[in-house]
Amino acid sequence: MTSRKSMDQTRLDNMDSTTLLDGRNGHVGETAVIGILVASDRAHSKEYEDEGGPAILDFLKEAVASPVEVHYRCIPDQQDIIEEALIELVDITGCNVIVTTGGTGPAVRDVTPEATEHVCERMMPGFGEQMRSISLAFTPTAILSRQTAGIRGSCLIFNLPGRPKAIRETIDEIWKAVPYCVDLIQGPYIDMNDEICNAFRPKSARRR
């Protein structure tokens, strides 16, 4: 595994990699297992370098105070392969959260929302609604996005856009609801760096 210090060197450049983010001093959380799933034919074939995965990784590195075990996958835009990867990350790897990027538009090969819906037991439509609302402030084509979210077992899965700028604009806001959602589905306590992402929890659920 790789420490937080060497994260910028690895940048998740392996198709299947695991990275450990050490917790910050004084954190009050528990280790969370988080999956980053990139759905992209061209990134998978190495036609171009994946930028979506590293953008999500950068957010986790900056925003999460408690330890995180990150599992990265880069796979083609193929529904059965996406479903298999999601199931493996939840049922075998034990992810508490999976963040996908890519494949959420109206193109024929954009099937990440369908794969997400197929493997989830309960859907969380508020995530997609809020993400489109955030993105519409920056681009009118945000209405073309079909991002969604749902729960499989004790894991929250949600879809992000594909471009790094859009990923950061979206995850900065969406993640404010993620730690408490994970609490409610009996996952680990994810402590945050409040200066980067001041996540909401009711007072009764806070440890600090």
| Amino acid, res. 75 | I
Q: Check which CATH number belongs to the domain holding 162 and give it.
A: 3.40.980.10
- Going through the chain in order, the beta strands assigned E by DSSP cover 16-21, 32-39, 68-75, 97-101, 122-123, 149-152, 155-160
Number of H helices and E strands in the chain, helices first, is 8, 7
pLDDT(206) > 60: yes
Long-range contacts of 169-174 (CB under 8 A, 24+ apart): 169/134, 169/135, 169/138, 170/131, 170/134, 170/135, 171/56, 171/59, 171/99, 172/59, 172/197, 173/130, 173/134, 174/127, 174/130, 174/131, 174/134
- Residue 15's pLDDT is what? 52
- Residue 11's pLDDT is what? 42
pLDDT in tens, 129-168: 999 999 999 999 999 999 999 999 999 999 999 899 999 9
pLDDT(2) > 60: no
Sheet holding 149-152, edge to edge: 16-21, 68-75, 32-39, 97-101, 155-160, 149-152, 122-123
Structure tokens at 64: 């999460």
pTM recorded for the entire structure: 0.91
pLDDT in tens, 74-102: 999 999 999 999 999 999 999 999 999 99
- How many domains would you assign to the chain? 1
- Residue 31's pLDDT is what? 98
| Amino acid, res. 97 | V
pLDDT in tens, 161-204: 989 999 999 999 999 999 999 999 999 999 999 999 999 999 99
pLDDT in tens, 28-73: 999 999 999 999 988 888 888 899 999 999 999 999 999 999 999 9
Q: Is 57 helix (H, G, I), strand (E, B) or coil?
A: helix
Q: Is 28 helix (H, G, I), strand (E, B) or coil?
A: coil
The domain in which residue 71 lies consists of 4-205
**Residue corresponding to tokens 């309960």:** 122
Max CA-CA distance within the chain?
A: 49
- Residue 46's pLDDT is what? 85
Phi, psi of 167 (to 5 degrees): -60, -50
